[in-house]
Each structure stands twice: as structure tokens, then as C-alpha cells.
Copies of this chain bind each other. A is one copy, B any other.
Amino acid sequence: MQTLASDPLTAQHLKLAIDAVLRVRSRQPRIHCITNAVAQNFTANVLLAVGAIPSMTVAPDEIADFVAGADALLVNLGTLDRERREAVEIAVTQAVNARRPWVLDPVFVDRSPPRAQFARILTARSPAALRLNAAEFAAVAAVAAGEATADRFALDQRCVVALSGAIDIVTDGARSAKIENGDALMARVTAMGCAGTALVAACLAVEADRWLAALGALLAFALAGECAAARARGPGSLAVEILDALANLDRETLLTRARVS
């Protein structure tokens, strides 16, 4: 597997990525979310906190209307029951036909072979971005996760790959960034990753450069988590504080506290 050269992250990239996040607040894009039952409430609250307008139905009868009226689509494969699976097919077709960006979060594909297979089929249907952890990447890409393999996969699939971990990697194959913000306590709150992916969808709705959109979203989310953790006494208060932090993030905090390379 060949290691692809990546452009160094410039200050200008960082500025543009932050612009994308703040544009969500002014533009208020509609984000339709097919997400798992555990994450629905928190995801809706994360989107509202950053200024987006979420809708969350997974009913096959209604989903096409909702996606048609949305600016971006989130597809999260958690709690993948029959109705959700059916809804995903309709929603992705609608999004692709209407040229709306959509993002895939293949939760726990390493735990369920049928879910992994479904994720691979979806990956071929032009998601703007994939967000997943190392184990999920290995199940989707059939290679071990790493910076080089993520670059290659992004290039082959023509999508952004956002690989989450202690350090997040965001790559489109040509450009790659590492985000060192965040806090270990975030892993002790359910649906954190799912909600972060929803933020990627919100940024994709207002920023045509998909790599900048994903970078801005994951940076904002990690930094909000870091601010929240500084105030929290445990995972319960962290979940509350991160919503407050997302609603209150400003350009200066994002610029001065970003640890991105």
C-alpha cells in the first residue's frame, strides 16, 4: 500500500474550516438524520446547538419528502432495523439524485457482518464523507486503519474519510489533517461520535469543499468537548456542557485553541 503525500495544513485552511462551522449558525441548514434510536435526541440537540435545523423521521413513506427539503443527509447505521434500512435506500437515492451531500457513519460494523456489507454497498454510492473509528474502517475497507490507508481509501472512493480516535484524521486523499483536541471523557457519553458526524453533515450543507467541511466540524466538536470537560464533573454534566459549549463557540476560541496539523 503506497503512502500518498499530503499537503501541509495551512493557516488559511484552518480559517476556512472555521468559517464553515460558523456559517451553519447564520444559514441554519436543514439536516435530515437517519440515525440510531440511542442517538436521535442528542444528535438533534447538537444540530440545534450549532444553529442547524434537524429532522429525524426514518419512516419509508415520508423520508423522500424530508430529504428533498433538506440541505444535507446523515446516514448512521446504528440500531439498523428493517425500516431504517429501507429508509436509507430511499434517502440516499434521493440525496444522490438531488446532488445533496450525504455522510455515512457505519457504527459498529465490526460487530455485525450484514451491517458491514450494507456499509460497503453504501460507500459505493458517493457519500461526501465517511466518519468511523479504526475498527469500523477495517470492516468497511478490509484493510487496517492508518493514515496511509485512509488517504488511499479516500482517493479511491472520492470521499472524505474522517477517522476518529485519540487523534482524529481527516483526509480526502490529497489533503490530510490531524486534530488533537478533545477529551477522553467524551468516550463515556453515548452517541458522541454519532452527533459529531451530524455536525459534519451540517458543515457539508454550507461548504462545498468537503474536506474543509469535515475538518471544521470535527475540530469544533472536539474543541467543544474539551471546553465542556474543563467544566464537567463526570459524563452526565459533560453531555450538558458540550451542548452549551457548541452554542457558544466563537471564532477566536476556535482559532486560538485548535491543535491541528
Contacts and interface: CB of A to CB of B under 8 A. Distances in A.
Interface of A: 36-42, 44-45, 48-49, 54-62, 65-66, 69, 78-84, 108, 111-115, 187-191, 232-237, 239-248
Contact of A236 (B49, B113, B115): B49
A107 B37 CA distance: 19
Contacts of A113: 65
Contacts of A237: 240-241, 243-244
Interface of A is mostly: helix
Given A38-B44, A41-B41, A248 B236 contact: no
Given A42-B41, A59-B82, A83-B81, A111 B240 contact: no
Contacts of A54: 190
Copies of this polypeptide in the complex: 3
Contacts of A39: 41
13 contacts: A38-B56, A41-B190, A48-B189, A49-B234, A57-B108, A59-B84, A65-B113, A234-B243, A234-B245, A235-B243, A236-B240, A236-B241, A240-B240
B79 A45 contact: no
A85 B79 CA distance: 15
B235 A244 contact: yes
Contact of A191 (B41, B78, B112, B244): B41
A100 to B, nearest CB: 15
Contacts of A37: 37, 40, 56, 58
Contacts of A56: 36-38, 78-79
A186 B58 CA distance: 25
Contacts of A49: 188, 234-236
Cβ-closest 4 pairs across A and B = A236-B243, A234-B244, A44-B190, A59-B81
B79 A112 contact: no
